[in-house]
Amino acid sequence: MPERRTCFHCGERTDPDTALVADSAPDRIFCCRGCKAVSALIEEEGLANFYQHLTASPPTPKEISHNERERLLELDHDVLQRSFVEREADGTNRASLMVTGLSCAACIWLIEHHLEKIPGVREITINHTTQRATLAWDPQSISLSEVLLAIRRLGFEARPYSSNELEDQLQQQQKKSLLRLCVAGIGMMQSMMLAIPLYFGIISGISETQYLFFRWASLVVATPVVLFSARPFFEAAWRDLRSRYLTMDVPVALGIGIAYVSSVWITIVGGQEVFFDAVCMFTFFLSLGRFLETRARLRSGLAGGDLATMLPVAARREKAGGEELVAAELAAVGDIVRVRPGEVIPVDGDILSGQSQINEAALTGEYIPVSRGPGEAVVAGTVNGSSPLRIKVTRTGNQTRLSGITRILNQAQSEKPRSAELANQVARYFVAAVLVIAAAAYIGWRAAGADNAFAIMLSVLVVTCPCALSLATPTALTAATSALRRKGFLPARGYALETLATVDMLVFDKTGTLTQGALELASVDHAAETDRDQIMDWAAALEIHSEHPIARAFPATSRVEATGVQNHLGQGLSGDIDGERLYLGSAAFVLGEADVEIAQATADQGVRIYLCRYGQWLATFQLDDHPRPDAAETIQALKGLGLNVALLSGDQQLHVNRTAKALGIDTAWGEAQPETKLARLQQLEREGHRVAVVGDGLNDLPAMAGARLSIAMGGASDLTQLRADAILLSSRLAVLPTVIVLARRTRNVIRQNLAWALGYNVLALPAALAGLVPPWIAAIGMSLSSLIVVVNAMRLGREHSSPAKTVPDADQRPQFSGLS
């Protein structure tokens, strides 16, 4: 009979009559043409290392049917791509995909390296845990369907990512885990009942026949527990061993496997003691601990996904003579939608008619509804409270503010901080040490003539818990990130919380950060040969091209048009109007070489900016800004936490001093250009300070980039928010003291978790080596060790009052920009 061999690519058994041989390597056998073609493709592209990294069999490639090709081509349509494709400024398209068929890290390696070689694919990253891929491609060079077909040819499937679908899969896994747990629990109770006669049989004097009956009955009970309930431990351990990576599953699987196999052997050939009850207890307690741990982590890990479920699936779009109900993702920019009281707003847009109270708690953490009326912006995911609204759509689908927050949250949770990486490395070496110590314990106690040498070895294998080390940091960060998001603070980088807990100095920008940013035009002084209306038109024409808070003090429209407008960061604007070059900004910028008298601002005056042409003074604008209602109290709360607070602004020094004095800030620097701000921060770092910067404008970008940690206000420009390490969604400064307290609590919880994990193992291992810990107690201890770490981390998700009293203000509304 011909020898049956396994497929070189997928590992399936081959039929000798139909097996195919590789053209370049006769010793390589394939089960089908698909596997042979994929293997040849891998070789041609220089990705043969895939088979060296392989730790589990990849899926068998299948022929791509005509209908499947058509379904993939449909994903190239703009209408369908609105819901999951983001179009960036440089023309790159970016999408989140769900990849199925991943069996191990080598599959990810293969897909990423294969796609990186395809022209037009700019980036591909895959998260094995969530099966989520981020794909960036140039639509001018390659279509999305072509990329998906390339993934399909490798034997994997990719489709638009759905958080609901992922949650469904995770819930199915939880149900299966619960079934395994139930089987293990029933087996544990039955095996313990059967073990009582075996333990006391010698004393009670049961017969040999009865003794054998109870052993065989225990074998029957323990077998489904090992083969079904303990299967995840064996699969994970085998995967880890093949990848030469040691995790806690390796000693656990060895402990269960050795105890079961030795007990079966003793039952068949005879011997002293069996461990079927211990095997069932191992499996039950370990499965129970992992089930509870996974459940808690799942609840926190899916917190970001809760945002995606806030959007309604349908929207009421206006049409001639009435309205129609359409899918929310089909609403286009410029459409008008109607939202009834109590409904969730489906799109970002501007109110055309209606005055209502909007509940923005889900996004900003601010539970007091805010009043919105015509001309004001509303965002998807917020709730319309009291009156009907007509809204003109400005953003839909994955371009909305809500989608931007979700992407940032996912990015922050996917990044591993340094402490987590270090803990994973320690855990890996710890497992190797445990395996060596367990073997040495068995040999030593056996040589000493101890009857319980085998039980001691099992206890050593099971009692240690490196998993607690690996969980100590990520569980705490996940819980804290979810809690902060509910309060209106969004960490945009994985290291943000860890860094925030260490800062000793906060440096604030002034306009739009410590102040409301709603500058008002107090007075206009202009040259005799001009009139006020003409001056206002010229200034407005320039300010239309600026996102600085000063621009909001000028009209949003102008009767004249400015061309060639340049934004001089931290100085002002310049542009051509009616053939003449005009300059609007600080005195130093616009007057330069002008021979005119300028009255200097006094400490009691607000911001002054000047307009000139060709060095000729045209006008002086006096603007006033007011501190945020919660600014002074927030500064005092931050000082109470032991932080140094400073003000760094590009505004005039006298005005900066006035604001600093009003808020209780002792250190203030004014008239700082972007490069000056950066130099000042670098100097502070050299002096030993650990600095965090809070700002909102483009002129703050250099300083924010050079700071240890940068925090952008909710009303900051798009670019500023995208570059920041964290975002204050509600623009309520009173949140900052709470955030810092929570960051410090998170650091303390991480330290507690690490101390517990290390302390437990340091104490438990010697006790197990001394024979003081029975195997079943070891299983309980190991499960509790991980569970305690997770439960301790979950405490961070509880509500805690802010150190700074929140100052409610009807006019203090959360600011929104286009974070998308």
Average pLDDT over residues 199-207: 62
pLDDT band for 309, please (50, 70, 90 cuts).
low
pLDDT at 537 over 90: yes
What average pLDDT does this structure show over 305-324?
Answer: 74
CA 190 to chain centroid = 44
Query: Model confidence at 517, in pLDDT bands (50, 70, 90)?
Result: low
The two structure tokens encoding residue 353 = 């008619």
pLDDT at 560 over 80: yes
> What pLDDT, on the 0 to 100 scale, is given for residue 607?
72
| Average pLDDT value for residue range 786-793 | 79
What are the φ and ψ backbone dihedral angles of 635, each rounded to 5 degrees? Answer: -60, -45
pLDDT band at 817 (very low <50, low <70, confident <90, very high): very low
CA 794/CA 708 separation, integer angstroms:
28
The predicted pLDDT at position 227 comes to 92
Q: State the pLDDT confidence band at 506, using cuts at 50, 70 and 90.
A: very high
pLDDT(780) > 60: yes
Three-state DSSP at 488 gives: coil
681 touches 694 (CB < 8 A): no
Q: Which residues, other chains included, contact 325 with Cβ-Cβ below 8 Å and sequence gap of 6+?
A: 314, 315, 316, 317
Residues linked to residue 336 through DSSP beta bridges, in sequence order? 392
- Residue type at 805? K
Please give the Cα distance from 258 to 687 (Å, whole number): 59
- pLDDT band at residue 313 under the 50/70/90 scheme: confident
- Local confidence band at 199 (pLDDT 50, 70, 90 cut-offs): low
Where residue 202 falls among pLDDT bands split at 50, 70, 90? low
Instruction: Using alpha carbons, select from 773, 645, 798, 786 the residue that is nearest to residue 287.
Output: 786
Average pLDDT over the chain, rounded to an integer? 77
The answer, yes or no, to whether residue 536 has pLDDT greater than 90, is yes
Of 177, 162, 160, nearest to 232 by C-alpha is 177
Tally Cβ neighbours within 10 Å of residue 136: 15
What domains does the chain contain, in order, with CATH numbers? 1-44 (no CATH), 66-161 (3.30.70.100), 315-396 (2.70.150.10), 520-624 (3.40.1110.10)
Answer for the pair 480, 497: CB distance below 8 angstroms, yes or no. Answer: yes
Mean pLDDT of 145-153: 86
| Orientation of helix 401-414 relative to helix 466-487, angle to 10° | 160
Position 752 pLDDT exceeds 80: yes
Q: Are strands 616-624 and 607-613 parallel, antiparallel or unpaired?
A: antiparallel
456 contacts 450 by C-beta, under 8 angstroms: yes
Is 810 a residue whose pLDDT tops 70? no
Q: Mean pLDDT over residues 275-298, rounded? A: 72
> CB–CB of 390/316 below 8 Å?
no
Taking 90 as the threshold, does the pLDDT of residue 341 lie above it? no
349 has a pLDDT exceeding 70: yes
Letter for the amino acid at 515? T
- Nearest residue to 538 (alpha-carbon basis) of 568, 597, 583: 583
Dist CA 609 CA 127 (whole Å) = 51
Contacts of 676 (CB under 8 A, 6+ apart): none
Q: Which of 168-182, 412-426, 676-690 has the highest mean pLDDT?
A: 676-690
Q: Which residues are paired to 20 by β-bridges?
A: 30
pLDDT in tens, 14-41: 666 656 666 666 667 766 655 666 677 6
600/438: higher pLDDT:
438
* pLDDT tens, residue by residue, 73-103: 888 887 777 767 878 778 888 888 888 766 5
Burial class of residue 313 in the structure, from the number of CB atoms within 10 Å of its CB (0-12 exposed, 13-18 middle, 19+ buried): exposed
Q: Considering only 204-213, 542-551, 606-615, 732-741, which range has the smallest mean pLDDT?
A: 204-213
Q: Is the pLDDT of residue 146 over 70?
A: yes
The closest of 300, 315, 302, 306 to 363, measured between CA atoms, is 306
Scanning 573-725, the segments in alpha helix (DSSP H) are: 587-591, 631-640, 653-663, 674-686, 701-706, 718-723
Please tell me the distance from the alpha carbon of residue 358 to that of residue 336, in angstroms, as a whole number.
18
Between 83 and 577, the higher pLDDT residue? 577
How much is the pLDDT for 419? 60
Model confidence at 602: pLDDT above 50: no
Instruction: Kindly tell me if the per-residue pLDDT of 366 is higher than 60.
Output: no
Residue bearing tokens 């058994």: 13
Long-range contacts of 254-260 (CB under 8 A, 24+ apart): 254/435, 254/438, 254/461, 255/282, 255/458, 255/461, 255/462, 255/775, 256/226, 256/230, 256/282, 256/283, 257/226, 258/457, 258/458, 258/461, 259/458, 259/775, 260/222, 260/226
With vertex at residue 611, the alpha carbon angle to CA 607 and CA 615, rounded to the nearest 5 degrees, is 130
Q: How far is CA 227 from CA 87, 114, 175, 256, 266, in A?
A: 49, 37, 18, 11, 19
The stretch 213-226 carries a mean pLDDT of: 90
Total residue count of the chain as it appears in this document: 820
For residues 627-651, average pLDDT: 89
Beta carbons of 85 and 91 less than 8 angstroms apart: no
**Tokens representing residue 409 in the block:** 């949250």
Q: Catalytic residue positions?
A: 509
Residue 737 clears pLDDT 90, i.e. is over it: yes
The Cα 693–Cα 646 span in angstroms is: 10
Range 581-596 average pLDDT: 73
Residue 812 pLDDT > 60: no
What's the number of CA atoms in the CB half-sphere (13 Å) around residue 507? 26
Nearest C-alpha neighbor of 396 from the set 468, 315, 280: 315
Order of strands across the sheet with 314-319? 322-327, 314-319, 336-339, 389-395, 348-353, 377-378
Strand partners, 94: 86, 136
